[in-house]
Amino acid sequence: NAGVTQTPKFQVLKTGQSMTLQCAQDMNHNSMYWYRQDPGMGLRLIYYSASEGTTDKGEVPNGYNVSRLNKREFSLRLESAAPSQTSVYFCASKDPTVYEQYFGPGTRLTVT
């Protein structure tokens, strides 16, 4: 099992460009999450999907959109990137019977 995979690993964007971060899990988990991590700020929840077909805002959703494409895949889209969105983005997934979240390796995004 690959667990949680994320693409790309690194990305540099110019202000105003758009892009989609991809996340997939092969553990048959119902719930999936997108976090951003900034120095000294910990992990902040952007959006989550408790189950296929549902999505909800987290703590910092502004400037982002998500799509739960199917049970395996949960993508995060930046429509018009801003320097404030420079961050490390982590996707995570979770089985409904346990509390533990499994994290992907992260995408390091720089917006210039």
How far apart are CB 94 and other proteins at their closest, in Å?
8
Q: Find out whether 78 and 19 touch, Cβ atoms under 8 Å.
A: yes
Q: Is 43 in the site for other proteins (CB under 8 A)?
A: yes
Q: Is 31 in the site for other proteins (CB under 8 A)?
A: yes
Q: Is 104 in the site for other proteins (CB under 8 A)?
A: yes
Q: Residue 71: which region, alpha, beta or left (left: phi > 0; alpha: psi -120 to 50)?
A: alpha
**Of these, 44, 73, 75, 86, which contacts other proteins (CB under 8 A)?**
44
- b/e 87-101 (16+ beta carbons within 10 angstroms → b): bebbbbbbeeeeeeb
Q: Is the bond preceding residue 8 a cis peptide, omega within 30 degrees?
A: yes
CA distance 75 to 69: 7
**Of these, 11, 17, 19, 50, which contacts other proteins (CB under 8 A)?**
50
Stretch that binds other proteins, among 18-26, 64-72, 77-85, 97-105 (CB under 8 A): 97-105
Q: What are the residues binding other proteins (CB under 8 A)?
A: 31, 35, 40-45, 48, 50, 58-59, 90, 92, 96, 99-106
